[in-house]
Structure 1
């Protein structure tokens, strides 16, 4: 019986620690400019800025697209990053699968999560001529 109390106590502590780290997580605003292009295989790259506790942190963006990608587009994203405890938590690999097309201007909304649990909620305008059905990887790093 005493063993079960210890196991139950350990589970309660583990759940409490996990909930506490999420409960105290913070958020910031983010802007990204991403240029995407390809012919079957594609790539994307760009830059941005994270504003966290009033300080600006420059960002680099890069990645690849595997699938059907035809054309070139540029997207200006703005939004919010949540579930971070420090600016470096925004850095990481974000993955997404999707399909889309743009001819001229279009709107784009996306939500992504990295391996640290940071959540990006972005919206923006896409300009260009592109059609895609792909798996995309987006890597964000602090400069």
Structure 2
């Protein structure tokens, strides 16, 4: 009987916890990223997060290592998901990727940070760059 009562209490606590947990939301994001380098590359830029009708300015910085040659500018827009507050967007996003741009090219990327925020971005990249690298992108709220 005690075991049954304990199981019922555990189930009720679990169900109550599901109702009380914060619901993750989505937002819109726009980023401008400048990237350049020779073997070791760097990136920087800025952006804007729109979450629940408010705009939040973002800063961007990062490093990459591998085959990096040249420089480019990428203007990306998209969706950020699995966030509960604007602070969830801030963090480090890691990626392994390959790409090239001569003049104007398309770019699409999917990233996740340590808080679980997911960025789905697409846009255009302008410049002369070839890359096959591991990179980290840090996004911060200003």
User: The TM-score by the shorter chain falls in which range?
Assistant: 0.7 to 0.9
* Structure 2 CA distance for partners of 1:53 and 1:104, relative to 1, 3 Å: same
SS of the equivalent of 1:88 reads helix
The total of aligned residue pairs comes to: 142
Which runs of 5 or more residues in structure 1 are unaligned? none
Which residue matches 2:110?
111
Superposed CA deviations along residues 52-103 of structure 1, whole A, max 9, x for unmatched, are 1111100000000011100000000000101111111100000000111111
* Structure 2 CA distance for partners of 1:142 and 1:2, relative to 1, 3 Å: same
Which residue matches 2:68?
69
SS of the equivalent of 2:128 reads strand
Which runs of 5 or more residues in structure 2 are unaligned? none
Q: Which has the larger radius of gyration?
A: 2
**Structure 1 length as normaliser, TM-score?**
0.87
SS of the equivalent of 2:41 reads strand
Which residue matches 1:30?
29
- CA-based RMSD of the aligned residues comes to 2.5
* Structure 2 CA distance for partners of 1:104 and 1:85, relative to 1, 3 Å: same
Name the CA distance, whole Å, in 2 between partners of 1:5 and 1:86: 38
Matches within 5 A, 1:64-143: 64-143=63-142
